[in-house]
Amino acid sequence: MTRLAAVLAALCAVLGATRPCSADLDSDVRQLVRAWEKHGRVHRLTPRFAERARPLLIFAPPELVVKETAGCLTAAVLGPSSTHFTVRVAGNAAAGEPEWVVGSVAGMVELTRCGPERAQLAGLLVEMRSPRAVLETLIVESKKPIPRAAESVPQRDPG
């Protein structure tokens, strides 16, 4: 009986000492907002529902992309970490530049543009590879490029 009590006590101690896992989308977004606020003003856009075969266009607030400044804009699109999607910078096609398609890693895509190139982030075209997901978009204005989002949200870093 004492052996069973000791095992149960040890099990309770281990389970009671662990932190709950908070790897959901909202907590990741809040964690990234807190980290990015140290570098500039963060804009959290309205969450959007995206589905495969229905491209989603995300527009940055106009006041962020029309400024003539040497500063930078960084945009991050986040979905659940198991979600796969691509982001295409819509501003490149209008400028006659090649379109770069960036695939999500751990449910996240991050793009940074500085100076006049920040206008390229006016529109982001998202195409789902997974069936569907809610996507969150954060945009931060900063004086210089900021650290990678995966450094602030390590559970999104693939290693």
Q: Which domains does the chain carry? A: 22-156 (2.60.120.380)
Q: How far apart are CA 104 and CA 81, in angstroms?
A: 9
Q: Which of 47, 66, 158, 77 is nearest to 118 (CA)?
A: 66
Q: What percent of the chain has pLDDT over 70?
A: 81
Which pTM was predicted?
A: 0.81
Spatial CB neighbours of 110, under 8 Å, sequence gap ≥ 6? 74, 75, 76, 148, 149, 150
Q: Per this entry, what is the length of the chain?
A: 159
| pLDDT value of residue 156 | 87
Q: Is the dihedral of CA 90, 68, 74, 100 positive or negative?
A: positive
In tens, the pLDDT along 57-66 reads 999 999 888 8
How confident is the model over 113-132, as a mean pLDDT? Answer: 93
The residue written with tokens 């389970």 in the block is: 15
CA quadruple 22, 147, 43, 80: dihedral, nearest 10 = -30
How confident is the model over 31-51, as a mean pLDDT? Answer: 96
Q: Is the pLDDT of residue 138 over 50?
A: yes
Asked which of 8-17, 49-58, 82-91 is least confident by mean pLDDT, the reply is 8-17
* Burial of 14 from C-beta contacts in 10 A (0-12 / 13-18 / 19+): exposed
Task: Identify whether the C-beta of residue 22 lies closer than 8 Å to the C-beta of residue 156.
Answer: no
Q: Is the pLDDT of residue 5 over 60?
A: no
The residue written with tokens 């659940």 in the block is: 80
Q: Is the dihedral of CA 116, 111, 101, 126 positive or negative?
A: negative
